[in-house]
Amino acid sequence: MTATNDPADPAPASPGEPVEAQFGPHRFYAGEGGGSEQFRGARFEAADLRGARFTDCDLTGVTIRDCWLVNVNISGYLSNVTVNGVDVTDFVNAELDRRHPERMRFREGQTADDVRAIWDTIERLWAQATERAGRLPAAALDHQVNEEWSFAQTLRHLVFITDAWASRTVLDEEMPYHPLGLPQSWYPAANAAALGIDLTAQPGYDEILAARADRMAVMRRIVAAVTGDSLGRLCRRSPAPGYPDEERTVIDCIAVVMDEEIEHYRFAVRDLAVLEAS
């Protein structure tokens, strides 16, 4: 399977070339106004940018020269990232694969049996993560480490992902969305409300776990039934209102769910380590 969080058309290396900005690898809607261009082509010289935070920004072609980068944290889609004359892209990807070998197995998977084996791994990893989370104080499960989603919010998001990319597309259910599901943070609130999702809801953790277990079971049934032929079947529904209209096969949709599961697991265990140490 091909990792689904890579941009379909990588942005050019030069910031001067005309291109539509890519606001984060998982975002296809920039929000009202289409995203700010206030700093496109800007130059910062002898500027104090300590503590600055860039979220869902297109930094293609950015040059950082003769600067201090201390305690800097970068995450996102990387390509041709050069640090002190060294392209670190392959090193970073190789290290992530070493720490999380499920990423490599996911990319290499092709057959129905591969799909089942990858899902077995995903279930095992999340069972371990949920067990770790269960040993933490209840308040920690709602704590947002470095302003990222909390563990509880992450589980809610994966409920939405299963509804959108498995039940809606693969199973062809018109309105499968659980009310506690959590779409991407930029997903329009009006669209979420139309799906029956209340973005202001604060469900209890036990309710979240129940919804998560139910959606994991949905995916288990799907992967148990897939065959080589059915993986190529075209899905006739888009994941949700606002998603781009494009052809999606069963394997495409399963790949999105698995990619989200694997990447959010990586984020979740990273933050669990912080919570366990506090």
Pair 178, 163: CB distance under 8 Å: yes
What's the distance, CA 237 to chain centroid?
21
pTM of full prediction above 0.85? no
Radius of gyration of the chain (CA): 20
Cα 251 from Cα 216, distance rounded (Å): 17
Residue 210 clears pLDDT 50, i.e. is over it: yes
* Closest-CA residue to 29 (of 271, 230, 241): 241
Concatenate the DSSP letters of all residues of 139-180 into one string. GGGG--GGGSPPHHHHHHHHHHHHIIIIITTTS--SS---TT
Q: Which residues pair with 86 in a beta bridge?
A: 83
Q: Provide mean pLDDT across the span 43-66.
A: 87
Residue 12 pLDDT: 45
Average pLDDT across the chain, whole number = 88
| Residue, of 63 and 127, whose pLDDT is higher | 127
H helices of 163-230, in order, are: 189-194, 205-225
Instruction: Please determine, for residue 98, whether its predicted confidence score (pLDDT) is greater than 80.
Output: yes
Residue bearing the bigger pLDDT, 130 or 107? 130
Cα–Cα distance between 244 and 222 in angstroms, integer? 24
Mean pLDDT of 144-154: 95
Tell me, what's the pLDDT at 87?
A: 93
